[in-house]
Amino acid sequence: MAAGEQLLKVQGVETYYGNIRALAGIDVEVKKGEIVSLIGANGAGKSTLMMTICGSPQARTGSIIFDGQDITRLPTHEIARLRIAQSPEGRRIFPRMTVLENLQMGAGLDNLKYFNEDVEKIFTMFPRLKERQSQRGGTLSGGEQQMLSIGRALMARPKLLLLDEPSLGLAPLIVKGIFEAIKVLNEKEGLTVFLVEQNAFAALKLSHRAYVLVNGKVTMSGSGKELLANPEVRAAYLEGGRH
């Protein structure tokens, strides 16, 4: 789909853990209606960027502009209120709450009037969640927990959906289903998605644009297609992977 105006602009961002610099000056941009992915090896700083966008940890230098507003120094709850929703690495659903309760936790107070409508939408997208709506989150399979984590993020009616490694630990067929759901959300509803993935092949295939992250720095960027065809990307992230 045609990309619109700028939604997220990360500029010169450095993030530290104590004295360790995990992000070494990151420039990344996401436009409204885009799916943009950030690929890179384990430890490259992908999750750190995602968490920095959400305000914890905060960027030490640089700026993060979301929807025209400087959010670099905002506390996480205020950033969430601007409708940036995250499905974090490892899903982090509430294991003792039911599927439906987990979805309730994702809905902002402002969105309660849409609750039934939004739950139905998520159940249509992921019928397995409907079947298991009264089951506790902790009893779901990995793929179902991922669906729930995405569903919970969607309950916030996000302007920007951040997904950290949705494919982690899942069988290829399940990954395919989840990525298909993301694609449909983007195409049908214009949802803007920023995706972090070690599974470069699936991410690049899905994305309009992508960035390659190495040791806290962006080393390459381009359209998903360009990067899929790029010999360096292929050698580093795709050889021996799923083609």
Ligand X SMILES: Nc1ncnc2c1ncn2[C@@H]1O[C@H](COP(=O)(O)OP(=O)(O)O)[C@@H](O)[C@H]1O
The binding site for ligand X (CB under 6 A) comprises 17, 20, 22, 40, 42-48
Relative to beta strand 192-197, strand 35-39 is parallel
Q: How far is the CB of 116 from ligand X (least distance, A)?
A: 36
Which lies closer to Mg ion via its Cβ, residue 22 or residue 125? 22
DSSP sequence for 35-62: EEEEE--TTSSHHHHHHHHTTSSPPSEE
Q: Which residues, listed in sequence order, are joined to residue 100 by a DSSP beta bridge?
A: none
Phi and psi at residue 84, to the nearest 5°: -105, 120
Strand ranges (DSSP E) for the chain?
Answer: 6-17, 20-31, 35-39, 61-66, 69-70, 84-87, 160-164, 192-197, 209-214, 217-223
DSSP conformation letters of 97-115: SBHHHHHHHHS-GGGGGGH
Judged by beta carbon, residue 67 or residue 89, the one nearer Mg ion is 89
17, interface contact from Mg ion, ligand X, none, CB < 5-8 Å by kind: ligand X
Give the footprint of Mg ion on residues 55-94 (CB under 5 A): 89
Contact of residue 152 among Mg ion, ligand X, none (CB under 5-8 Å per partner type): none
Task: Examine residue 226 and tell whether it contacts Mg ion (CB under 5 A).
Answer: no
Q: What's the one-letter identity of residue 197?
A: E
x/- mask, Mg ion, residues 87-116, rule CB under 5 A, reads --x---------------------------
- CB 200 to ligand X: min, Å: 12
Nearer to Mg ion, 63 or 198 (CB): 198
Instruction: Give residues in contact with Mg ion (CB under 5 A).
Output: 46-47, 89
